[in-house]
Amino acid sequence: MSADPRPLIGEPLALDLLNTRWMQDGVAQDLLTGTDGLAVWLRANALDGRFDADEPTLRHVLHARDALRRAVDEKITEGVDAVLGHGRIRATLTPEGPGEVPEFEDPAWGPAWLAARNYLELLTTAPDRIRGCAHEACVLHFFDTSRNGTRRWCSMAACGNRAKASRHYARTREA
């Protein structure tokens, strides 16, 4: 298995799926060009033991990624709702207490459905904390967990530093 090449990992599942597309040196990158990349994404999100990295799952995950992008960037929600139609939550009661179990009409929809469901959870928690990176050349998304909710960059070390350097260069050039 290959390593995860993405510059931003560890975001909530819905945003992590969006972040399977990124820019590197001005060139668009896409982790999900095949089942090998899907396997990397499933492993990064601890879904590899539950779901197969096969063509049907890849097709559904790509559908969910496009739907999530439209929902996050353009506020068009029908695609996410359509993905959610492929699964449901079943309430359970176990000796440990109440619980919920996701069920899917087809297991290949599992990762896509879980990402769409996670987006609903983020909207319920703090919809204003779902953000795109403020750097004009970056396409990554993050869930702002900063105390005061003012995070602007996917990464201060990468995009934040580039923006600061660019502003500094512009100021010194004017002077």
Neighbouring residues of 82: CB distance < 8 A, sequence distance ≥ 6: 67
pLDDT at 58 over 90: yes
Contact 144, 34 (CB under 8 A): no
Percent of the chain with pLDDT over 70: 90
User: Dihedral of CA 66/75/135/46: which sign?
Assistant: negative
The pLDDT-based confidence of 155 (bands split at 50, 70, 90) is confident
The pLDDT-based confidence of 1 (bands split at 50, 70, 90) is low
pTM: 0.88
The pLDDT-based confidence of 11 (bands split at 50, 70, 90) is very high
Confidence at residue 171, expressed as pLDDT on a 0 to 100 scale: 63
